[in-house]
Structure 1
Amino acid sequence: MTRIDAFTDDALGTLDAVGAVDALRAGTVSAAELVDAAIARTEAVNPALNGMAHEAFDRARTRARLAYPYGGYFDGVPTFIKDNVAVAGMPTREGADAWQARIEANDGDFARPYLATGLIPIGKTQLSEFGFSASAEHPRLGAVRNPWHTDYTAGASSSGSGAFVAAGVVPIAHANDGGGSIRIPAACNGLVGLKPSRGRLPLDRNVRQMPLQIVHNGVLTRSVRDTAAFYREMERTVAHPKLPRIGDIRGPGAARLHIAVCTQSIARDSAPEIADLTLQTAALLEELGHRVTVVDNPIPRRFIDDFLLYWSFLAFALVRGGRRTFGETFDRTRLDSLTLGLERHAAGNLVRLPAALVRLARTRRITERLHSTYDLLLTPTLADVTPRIGHLDPTADYQQVIERLIDWVAFTPLQNVTGEPAMSLPLARSASGLPIGMMFSAPLGRDARLLELAYELEAARPWPTISG
């Protein structure tokens, strides 16, 4: 097994983001020392992990040596931002090399409050082309590899962020999720990944224009308290007026919950190992005093076809509008087989799209009925173990890749459609030792309930990091 570990005896040590804040306030480390440590760690492991899309080391060092102009809670903590949101002074390549990316003149609507927390980006992280695949394996940019075992994928379009946080390069990194890309890399890399309620965090303009809003911004962390602190701090400036506030969650909730558990996805039964690990998690919940009920999956099989059509429509819009969006250098022949296959699928089925969108929008009626009985839903994050690099090769035959994607990413798209919050926690390990994520979803706006349960589970079954 080739494991990549960036943890070392430097200013970052094994600190999580909250620990780094505490060290900064105590004066035992400086922002410059933390940033220098993160840069050194990036240089040490990126040749093996291939997680970086753009480096901004000089900018980060300059920022770290200033007198903290933002005044945010995380002032001085190094981070990465995924390469599909706009950050002033950096290009946005969307995981592709089909055009000459321009340097952004301004921060986008997400980067502004993200950077206002004081987090210092040392660069941008790699993703699959436009985020369409659940594995970043670009034919020319290379594959992003899992630090637990580099023969395996780091998972989904936030894979670069997931690989770097798990390997100890930074304690917290931006991720976003249109079909599972916060929760999937959390599951593959042994991290905490909360996809928040729709509207909880701002989106850049190009994403807000989608006819059905499925994308959600967030972060990947190694500890529940880091995720909770991030949402607390973001809420200081971007609280959504129609959602219950998360507030300052610092520990488990007192309420005992009624939790539904389902190991059967819309597409298939989970692999036996995954189903067994999910039921073990359900048994842990019962030991903690929660009530658990096994349920069948209530979502109709038609959901898969409808979601695939909408997913492919997004590819259609990007490919057909490529020159208008990305400039005259856009060259569709440099796109991978998956993107072009999705575009063809949409082109042949556009007449079905309006009805598909109506059905997708109505899906929340089903989950609302489920949540009228149960406080939370537990499923595996993914239907099978993490695949090896090559299993989801985007240059392979489109039909092969899309069938494998549907087979593996069988649970996560539901909450992108309904807008409900869902969190992957690294509560299990496969027989081969790779992390396995367990996913909890809640009614819209009940993100705090997920964080409270996450604290309880983290205390009851602490998860290891790569450093041990």
Structure 2
Amino acid sequence: MTNRSPGRAPEPGPAPLDTPLDIYDAVGLAELIRNGELREKEVLELVADRIATRDPGINALVATRLDEARDEVARGLPDGPLRGVPIGIKDLYCDVAGLPSTHGSRMFEHAVAKRDADLVIRYRAAGLAVLGKTNTAEFGASASTEPALHGPTRNPWNPAYSAGGSSGGAAAAVAAGILPAAHATDAAGSIRIPASACGLFGMKPSRGLVWNGPRASALSVPMAVSHAVTRTVRDSAALLDATAGAVPGAPFATPAMEETFSAAVRRPPARLRVGYTTVAPDGTPVDPEIAAAVEEAAALFERLGHEVRAAGPSFDPDLPGRALDVLFGAGLRGLVDTVVRARGRALGDDELEPMTRRQYEEAAGVTGSALLHALQETEQLGRTVAGFYADHDIWLSPTLPAPPPRLGVLDTAVPGTADAIARYTVFTRIANLTGQPAASLPFGRDAAGLPIGVQITAPHGHDAVVLRLSAQFEEAAPWDWTAPWPPVA
């Protein structure tokens, strides 16, 4: 697993790496802009060129606002810590005024947002230049981004393969060097899955740390969170600094930070107790190369001075899938029925993809008591898993049990795809139900050249610990986030 350190000029490769986008991460670009060494307009035009030349091969972006961004840059962006850095917004429950909000579904094909989501407002306040919307699986329901509405997003490492999902557009755009960072969401692994598939850092924050109103979802969809996919750990920390923080009336809260996340990642973590496992909770087979990567990561953590042993949380392996089926189905049913009632006409035969349609129809049988039981089981899972962290600070595991699949393998038109997706999310979905922070760390590539990710999970509210350990790991085993660029260039 030979990789280069992010933020440094890469070694010569098949394609010239001679622009700031090739050499610097988001924080590095912001520093250049702040010091007057680079203008926001220059960065914007570099990204515009990348969109024109690289995106057609991977289909990461579904809508852009380049002219509007040019006008905003000309008028002057807010003087925030990330001023002038471009960012893409996932086209799922995160509105950008004037841009489509399709959620990857033909049901919302013509929907256009009237206002910015609260999260976008915070991005703008940090000085970020919002450039467009990235592709997503329909309603975020798949672990591969292949919506019928916009078509599949291709993996920059090999366009025949999936970029992961449901934030596949975000991850592909960053991995392909189009954007330095991109917003993403995660309800069962949708940040960490594409981060692993595309060779990026992807962190799911603790429940309650990042809010994205005005859409009410925290109680109705308690497993979903928003954050980003990035090239470096410090970029993820900087974006958390820009977006984290409770809002009035929030039903969940996380412990207050004594310092910024950006300051936290500059200090190594204390000696941590790391338990690791390569065995899936439900018995799903784990690819040997991925299992070997976890073993190697465990050995690396031990060399870094941490206490490491083979161990993992114990719980009913059927519970996560059972609870998620009910919670997601009920949320989907409520969303669709609300829209159908508001427009006064029945749901069209082709407005939902086959898998989503089946989930919608099956959810008609979800009773109030069934929904309550799923929420109670979710709470019990959190309590059970918390017992593991009485003796451990970190759980190290695979991010995914298998390499990224070829496009079409997780086709939502094929019966049984929902079960295949459930097996693919066996390691990621747990943290969504328990509310814990978890991150996928890129750790080399497999024999086919596709990235491998390993996952670390910590107790709720210990987001700074995840970031510190990730930064220490990144320094000890740096990865080359420019490697996928030559194929798409």
Same fold (TM over 0.5): yes
Asked if 1:196 corresponds to 2:205, the answer is yes
Q: In structure 2, give the amino acid aligned to 1:356.
A: A
Distance 1:6 1:143 in 2: 26
Distance 1:99 1:329 in 2: 14
Q: In structure 1, give the amino acid aligned to 2:301.
A: L
The offset of 1:235, in angstroms, is 4.2
Which of 265, 271, 275 aligns to 2:280? It is: 265
- Residue pairs, 1:29-428, within 5 angstroms: 29-68=38-77, 70-84=78-92, 85-208=94-217, 210-235=219-244, 242-245=254-257, 247=260, 248-267=263-282, 268-303=284-319, 304-324=321-341, 331=348, 333-350=350-367, 352-397=370-415, 400-428=416-444
Distance 1:132 1:241 in 2: 26
Q: Which residue of 2 aligns with 1:457?
A: 473
Q: Which residue of 1 aligns with 2:8?
A: none
TM-score for both structures, normalised by structure 1 = 0.93
Distance 1:91 1:329 in 2: 22
Asked if 1:431 corresponds to 2:443, the answer is no
Asked if 1:16 corresponds to 2:32, the answer is no
SS in 2 for 1:389: coil
**Structure 1 residues 149 and 64: alpha-carbon distance in aligned structure 2, compared to 1, 3 A threshold:** same
Q: What do the CA deviations read for 1:53-81 (whole angstroms, capped 9, x no partner)? A: 2111111111122222x221111111101
The offset of 1:417, in angstroms, is 0.9
Distance 1:415 1:273 in 2: 23
TM-score for both structures, normalised by structure 2 = 0.89
Contact 1:201-1:238 within 8 A present in 2 as well:
no
Q: In structure 1, give the amino acid aligned to 2:277.
A: C
Q: What do the CA deviations read for 1:421-459 (whole angstroms, capped 9, x no partner)? A: 001110232121211111111111110001111111111
Q: Which residue of 2 aligns with 1:447?
A: 463
**Structure 1 residues 296 and 237: alpha-carbon distance in aligned structure 2, compared to 1, 3 A threshold:** closer
Q: In structure 1, give the amino acid aligned to 2:281.
A: I
Distance 1:272 1:455 in 2: 26
Structure 2 unmatched runs, 5+: 1-13, 485-489
Q: Which residue of 1 aligns with 2:3?
A: none
Q: In structure 2, give the amino acid aligned to 1:460.
A: A
SS in 2 for 1:181: coil
Q: In structure 1, give the amino acid aligned to 2:444.
A: A
Larger displacement relative to structure 2 (244-253 or 162-171): 244-253
The offset of 1:335, in angstroms, is 1.1
Q: Which residue of 1 aligns with 2:10?
A: none
**Structure 1 residues 11 and 270: alpha-carbon distance in aligned structure 2, compared to 1, 3 A threshold:** closer
Contact 1:86-1:204 within 8 A present in 2 as well:
no
Distance 1:230 1:7 in 2: 29
SS in 1 for 2:21: coil
Q: In structure 2, give the amino acid aligned to 1:104.
A: A
Q: What do the CA deviations read for 1:161-194 (whole angstroms, capped 9, x no partner)? A: 1000011111111001111111111101111111
The offset of 1:208, in angstroms, is 2.1
Distance 1:167 1:329 in 2: 41
Distance 2:410 2:108 in 1: 24
The offset of 1:315, in angstroms, is 2.3
The offset of 1:136, in angstroms, is 1.2
**Structure 1 residues 250 and 301: alpha-carbon distance in aligned structure 2, compared to 1, 3 A threshold:** closer
SS in 1 for 2:106: coil
Larger displacement relative to structure 2 (308-317 or 383-392): 308-317
SS in 2 for 1:208: coil
Contact 2:145-2:153 within 8 A present in 1 as well:
yes
Q: In structure 2, give the amino acid aligned to 1:179.
A: A
Distance 2:297 2:395 in 1: 12
The offset of 1:238, in angstroms, is 6.6
The offset of 1:8, in angstroms, is 4.8
SS in 2 for 1:95: coil
Equivalent residue pairs, number: 461
The offset of 1:312, in angstroms, is 2.1
Structure 1 unmatched runs, 5+: none
| RMSD after superposition | 2.2
Distance 1:325 1:386 in 2: 39
